[in-house]
């Protein structure tokens, strides 16, 4: 995995170590990677009976310790091997082949937009109802 300019961003050994299995370095094949340094989300292709490809890890790459990556806890699910992607989402396989970021507005952003829309409507009505000169 490389950053712009061809500089290594993260190696398969680092990923194998992060999931607590440096012995699997030669078998690690990334399916999905999303980077917002220093945090990354990633998924790997299935490895024998140990990983089915439905796992998603969250890892703060500032911590290179053995087992530093943790299974993602999102959407009411811990995205580990026990979580059945296929059954839950009706997919063809367990394998997660891609990750996509979806913007979720913060509550204050929603309030700001709602407030702006409310004031716009209020001022429009005031202008409409005001006497003409």
pLDDT in tens, 49-71: 899 999 999 999 999 999 999 99
Contact by Cβ (8 Å): 88, 50 = no
* pLDDT confidence tier of residue 115, bands split at 50, 70 and 90: very low
In the chain, % helix, strand, coil (3-state, to 5) comes to 35, 20, 45
pLDDT confidence of residue 121:
40
- How many whole angstroms separate alpha carbon 114 and alpha carbon 30? 41
Q: Which run of H or E residues covers position 73? A: strand 73-74
Q: What is the CB-side half-sphere exposure of residue 3 using CA atoms within 13 A?
A: 8
**DSSP character at residue 131:** P
**Which pair of structure tokens corresponds to residue 4?**
């712009």
């Amino acid at each position: 995995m490389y950053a712009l300019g061809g500089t290594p961003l993260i190696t398969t050994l680092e990923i194998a170590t992060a999931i607590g299995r440096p012995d699997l370095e030669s078998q690690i094949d990334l399916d999905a990677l999303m980077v917002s340094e220093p945090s990354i989300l990633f998924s790997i292709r299935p490895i024998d009976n140990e990983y089915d490809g439905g796992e998603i890890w969250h890892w703060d790459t500032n911590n290179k310790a053995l087992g530093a990556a943790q299974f993602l806890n999102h959407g009411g699910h811990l995205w580990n091997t026990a979580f059945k992607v296929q059954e839950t989402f009706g997919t063809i396989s367990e394998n997660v082949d891609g990750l996509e970021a979806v913007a979720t507005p913060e509550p204050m952003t929603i309030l700001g937009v709602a407030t702006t829309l409310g004031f716009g409507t209020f001022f429009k009505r005031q202008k409409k109802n005001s006497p003409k000169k």
